[in-house]
Amino acid sequence: MAFEKDLNLDATELRLGLPGTSDESAKNQTPATLRSSNKRALPEESMSSNATASKNCDQETAPLTKAQVVGWPPIRSYRKNNLQPKKSEGEISGIYVKVSMDGAPYLRKIDLKVFKGYPELLKALEDMFKFKAGEYSEREGYNGSEFVPTYEDKDGDWMLVGDVPWEMFTNSCKKLRIMKGSEARGLGCVV
Amino acid sequence: MNYFPDEVLEHVFDFITSHKDRNSVSLVCKSWYKIERYSRQRVFIGNCYSISPERLIARFPGLKSLTLKGKPHFADFNLVPHDWGGFVYPWIKALAKSRIGLEELRLKRMVVSDESLELLSKSFVNFKSLVLVSCEGFTTDGLAAIAANCRFIRELDLQENEVDDHRGHWLSCFPESCTSLISLNFACLRGEVNLGALERLVSRSPNLKSLRLNRAVPLDTLQKLLMLAPQLVDLGIGSYVHDPFSEAYNKLKIAIQRCKSIRSLSGFLEVAPHCMSAIYPICGNLTFLNLSYAPGLHGNKLMKLIQHCRKLQRLWILDCIGDKGLGVVALTCKELQELRVFPSDPFGAGNAAVTEEGLVLVSAGCPKLNSLLYFCQQMTNAALITVAKNCPNFIRFRLCILDPIKPDPVTNQPLDEGFGAIVQSCKGLKRLSLSGLLTDQVFLYIGMYAEQLKMLSIAFAANSDKGMLYVLNGCKKLRKLEIRDCPFGDAALLEDVGKYETMRSLWMSSCEVTLGGCKSVAEKMPSLNVEIINESEQMEFNLDDKQKVDKLYLYRTLVGHRKDAPEYVWIL
């Protein structure tokens, strides 16, 4: 059987390394960011001893950070989304929603479940984006600031944060947006 | 042969059911081609872009059942952008316009709109069976149309689709006159269903054999449904959470015991593990058990359940079963043919609970094992060699080590020898997926030994073009080759372009092939569609032939370039 360990297949193997392949170039290519480099680290080829081969395998094949590799492990998205209902953006716990702020370079995500009510949520948003929201009143919305917290509900409408009971809000909020300036005026911000 | 009247030949052809055989029959001579095409009722199209609906209709006027597959397999893992293609609407539209009396439609990885479902439901009087696997693009409104309009519907089977759930009313759309249901699977729907409508539907469906419920169906409804349908053969339990000391639980126990025909059990989408004893009475007859969506079930409770399942042939499970649990499987399930072990925590910090040990135990205890999908923490060559010796009957062997380039942890060697043993021993191997640290050597073995191999999936493997060349030269029956993150370049791609016409498709992403190489293939082989998916920011596709191609998907086709490709897909 060709697979017994004592047959030294290395000695008879045809080698066709990529041009310029050598110890050094192989070592330089760590697989840590596989997305940017298509070349995998090459195991040691020119030495015949197993010990050296395994040593180089050690150096060159650091385990990939799983989160960096798109599409690995190969599991259908449906399965991934349905597997851990307790951890995912489910209807029972852990409601993660995106938060955007007009003018900010990137969005954030927060878990609505960790807040007990609107005051806590607003404080967290204010801390996260470094703004002040103004005083909320049912009649006038947010008074005293050019920033207005809004959210998109299940029907796709943009609503003012604070109008509905907290439970209803967390169940229907799909994403948050902190509007700024003139656009915010349309939603009842009195500035 | 031509001395037989056509009807006799047609009758003979009736006995030939496999697609491959019927295709062969049609090639014998003109008269056989003609007889075969008029009598053909079932057609399978593995790539919806390989042929057009018009040509299909022209050739097979008697078509009753159509199976279509759309997106390439790697679309399952988010490697294909959302709107790449695979739309079913043009097919349904063309079929609706024709005289085809479609009765059955089976779709996989296709985009299905509510509009297409509605058109489908209104266009074919005798439509009986709709099976959608890994599809997307529709809502429960589309299902409502099917329920309302397909008077003779027998089968509505939704497997792992992304469905926009507008909540419960679609089930109420089955009219009172609908009593023909044999199979109903809506486990993948996330929303509430009208429980009363469900109960009424089941009560007027005496032929119902397969029922798979979603998460929103509570235990007491389950109990009522089982009382109404004790003839069930296949059951998918939605929610299984309850108090073991309650009246509801006792009633359930009685209901389950009446269901002596259940051979297949799945679901447990919400599960209370201490209540599994109610299931024991039917475990002894089970041939298929799917617990892969039940992370709440593990440890001793799970093992106890398995111990009751002596006749199991197919088992789908999560890796929280552990090597120890697989040992129990090995001791109990002597009839096991197919095992799938899914990761319960795919991005976890090495807590995957199965290793090579579990696999070795199963291979030793279950000699009939022929199909494997195994997500594990690690694998060794020694284990694979043992598995190959114990189970020479593998048809499908898919191994996924969660760290894709992990070597044998004991010897620190690549897994070439282990996989080599598998392909050498399993002479009937048709499908293989590799992972772990792998060099060109494993491909040498595959090319040499995997004579029956039809589908090969490669990721993060090989050292050079030789790897791909070994496979293309050696595997004569290869139909689908999908590769990601391997150092295969133009030399390998261009070595034998004629080969691609013998295959259904080739996928290469994050490899070394260049635009120039792809153009070359397209030039030499007009019978192939060579698609480049280019998602990078520079949308002006700079015409430098040396530019590396992000994603290449090429496939044989009889109908040239498709017209529905999005902007970022370039068909060369």
Query: What sign does the CA torsion over A143, A146, A151, A157 have?
Result: positive
The yes-or-no verdict on residue A87 having pLDDT over 70 is no
How many other CB atoms are found less than 10 A from the CB of residue B22? 19
Contact B484, B79 (CB under 8 A): yes
Residues of B in contact with A34 (CB under 8 A): 460, 485, 510
Give the whole-angstrom CA distance, residue B106 versus residue B99. 19
Contact A153, A170 (CB under 8 A): no
DSSP string, B251-266: HHHHHHHH-TT--EEE
Rounded to a whole number of angstroms, the distance between the first and last alpha carbons of chain A is 83
The yes-or-no verdict on residue A4 having pLDDT over 50 is no
A59-77 pLDDT per residue, tens: 444 455 445 578 889 999 8
DSSP string, B64-96: -EEEEE-S-GGGGGT-S-TTS--B-HHHHHHHH
Residues of A in contact with B375 (CB under 8 A): 73, 75
Contacts for B520-527: CB closer than 8 Å, 24+ residues apart: B520/B490, B520/B494, B521/B493, B521/B494, B521/B497, B521/B554, B521/B572, B522/B572, B524/B497, B525/B497, B525/B498, B525/B500, B525/B501, B527/B501, B527/B556, B527/B557, B527/B558
Residues 31-90, chain B, touching A (beta carbon < 8 A): 74, 76-79
> A54 and B405 in contact by Cβ < 8 A?
no
The yes-or-no verdict on residue A49 having pLDDT over 50 is no
Amino acid at B19: H
Contact B403, B352 (CB under 8 A): no
How many other CB atoms are found less than 10 A from the CB of residue B131? 18
Nearest to B102 by CA among B71, B133, B68: B68
Sheet of A147-152: strand order equals: A108-111, A96-101, A175-180, A147-152, A158-160
Closest chain B residue to the Cα of A58, Cα to Cα: B412
How many other CB atoms are found less than 10 A from the CB of residue B122? 14
Return the pLDDT at B158.
Answer: 97
A66 contacts: CB under 8 Å, gap ≥ 6:
A72, A73, B346, B347, B402, B403
Return the pLDDT at A141.
Answer: 82
The runs of H, that is alpha helices, within B308-412 are 322-332, 356-365, 381-390
Q: Which two tokens stand for residue B509?
A: 């992403």
| B406 has a chain A CB within 8 A of its CB | yes
Nearest to B358 by CA among B347, B349, B369: B369
Strand B569-571 and strand A108-111: pairing? unpaired
Give the whole-angstrom CA distance, residue B351 versus residue B490. 40
Closest chain B residue to the Cα of A84, Cα to Cα: B295
Contact B291, B317 (CB under 8 A): yes
pLDDT in tens, chain B (572 residues): 557 888 888 888 888 888 888 888 888 888 888 888 988 999 999 999 999 999 999 999 999 999 999 999 999 999 998 889 999 999 999 999 999 999 999 999 999 999 999 999 999 999 999 999 999 999 999 999 999 999 999 999 999 999 988 876 899 999 999 999 999 999 999 888 999 999 999 999 999 999 999 999 988 899 999 999 999 999 999 888 877 778 888 899 999 999 999 999 999 988 877 788 899 999 999 999 999 998 888 888 899 999 999 999 999 999 989 999 999 999 999 999 999 999 987 766 555 579 999 999 999 999 999 999 999 999 999 999 999 999 999 999 999 999 999 999 999 999 999 999 999 999 999 999 999 999 999 999 999 999 999 999 999 999 999 999 999 999 999 999 999 999 999 999 999 999 999 999 999 999 999 999 999 999 999 999 999 998 765 545 567 888 899 999 999 999 999 999 998 888 98
B459 contacts: CB under 8 Å, gap ≥ 6:
A72, A74, B404, B434, B435, B483, B484, B485, B486
Return the pLDDT at A94.
Answer: 67
Residues of A in contact with B402 (CB under 8 A): 66, 73
Among the partner-chain residues A3, A35, A79, the one whose CB lies closest to the CB of B342 is A79
Return the pLDDT at A30.
Answer: 37
Q: Quick one: DSSP state of residue B490?
A: H
Contact B422, B438 (CB under 8 A): no
Return the pLDDT at B243.
Answer: 75
Distances (CA, A) of B134 to A87, B111, B323, B380: 23, 9, 30, 33
Residues of A in contact with B420 (CB under 8 A): 2-3
Q: Residue B424 half-sphere exposure, CB side, CA atoms within 13 Å?
A: 17
